């Protein structure tokens, strides 16, 4: 992986950080963006640099198409060609569908779905020209089931949209040597949920336990590898059997 560059949205903490550190350890330079986690982003940069790799962290709202394009251009100008785009950004809020506001509704789509499109569109031309590239986006386990979700409705619909967008981009970019895939986590202990809540959820997971960051990292690592060169348009359920 020497001299390769990965761009990770939402890379300051959680799954994004774990993926960034794994790829840095394997020899990639890392560019990440964040919206609010400035302290965590600085910590992530320091950890990447300990691996001897270049690191760039920038506050950027990639739900703004102009900002997304500018960030992609900056990374390729300063670091070189982006070989891997990992779309990890994906905030959510819990609110009953009948109490959701127009602003909250729009934000869920902007940050979870539109941002994936804008970043992919920004980097696709260069990937096409090089006849090489990997795009991995995060959806959520059971988004492909299209069941009722009264408390996270907009987020859920947006994540279902990520799966459709993934397959569409995969078909459009396959002739150009670029693969596009999705990873759909269920319950992963990323440090954001209380331990007691996770322990209670484990009883509802067929595998009997909560996933770890290393599980998400392994899925991304595989999809970026040469072994996955013929895999595109797929969705990896990362849930221990929950949501299928």
The stretch 104-108 carries a mean pLDDT of 97
- List all residues 6 or more positions away from 82 whose beta carbon is below 8 Å from its beta carbon: 5, 6, 7, 31, 72, 75, 76, 123, 126, 127, 133
Q: Which residues are catalytic?
A: 156
- pLDDT of 221 reads 98
The Cα angle at residue 223 between residues 217 and 225, in degrees rounded to 5 = 100
How far, in Å, CA of 215 to CA of 15, rounded?
10
Percent with pLDDT over 70 in the chain: 99
Confidence grade of residue 196 (pLDDT, cut at 50, 70, 90): confident
**Radius of gyration of the chain, Cα coordinates, nearest whole angstrom:** 17
* Backbone CA torsion sign across 68, 56, 126, 115: negative
- pLDDT of 3 reads 58
Confidence grade of residue 1 (pLDDT, cut at 50, 70, 90): very low
- Per-domain residue ranges of the chain: 5-238
Q: Hey, what CATH topology would domain 5-238 get?
A: Rossmann fold (3.40.50)
The mean predicted confidence, pLDDT, of the chain is 96
- pLDDT of 57 reads 98
- Report the b/e string of 101-134 with b at 16+ CB within 10 A: eeeebebbbbbbbbbbbbbbebbbebbbeeebbb
Write down the pTM of the prediction: 0.96
- pLDDT of 114 reads 98
Q: Is residue 2 pLDDT above 50, yes or no?
A: no
Confidence grade of residue 104 (pLDDT, cut at 50, 70, 90): very high
How far, in Å, CA of 25 to CA of 144, rounded?
33
- pLDDT of 109 reads 98
Residue bearing the bigger pLDDT, 197 or 59: 59
For 6-37, what is each residue's pLDDT tens digit?
A: 999 999 999 999 999 999 999 999 999 999 99
For 39-71, what is each residue's pLDDT tens digit?
A: 999 999 999 999 999 999 999 999 999 999 999
């Amino acid at each position: 992986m020497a001299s390769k560059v990965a761009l990770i949205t939402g890379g300051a903490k959680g799954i994004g950080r774990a993926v960034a550190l794994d790829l840095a350890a394997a020899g990639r330079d890392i560019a990440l963006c964040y919206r609010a986690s400035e302290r965590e982003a600085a910590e992530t940069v320091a950890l990447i640099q300990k691996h001897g790799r270049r690191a760039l962290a920038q506050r950027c709202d990639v739900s703004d198409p102009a900002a997304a394009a500018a960030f992609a251009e900056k990374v390729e100008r300063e670091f070189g060609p982006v070989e891997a785009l990992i779309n990890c950004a994906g905030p959510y809020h819990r609110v009953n569908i009948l109490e959701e506001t127009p602003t909250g509704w729009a934000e869920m789509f902007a940050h979870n779905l539109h941002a994936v499109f804008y970043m992919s569109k920004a980097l696709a031309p260069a990937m096409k020209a090089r006849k090489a590239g990997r795009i991995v986006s995060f959806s959520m386990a059971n988004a492909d089931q299209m069941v009722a979700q009264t408390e996270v409705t907009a987020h859920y619909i947006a994540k279902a949209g990520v799966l459709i967008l993934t397959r569409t981009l995969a078909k459009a970019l396959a002739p150009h040597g670029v693969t596009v895939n999705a990873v759909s986590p269920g319950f992963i202990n990323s440090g954001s949920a209380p331990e007691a809540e996770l322990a209670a959820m484990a009883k509802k997971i067929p595998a009997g336990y909560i996933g770890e960051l290393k599980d998400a990292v392994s899925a991304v690592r595989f999809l970026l590898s040469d072994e996955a060169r013929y895999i595109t348009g797929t969705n990896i359920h990362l849930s221990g059997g929950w949501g299928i």
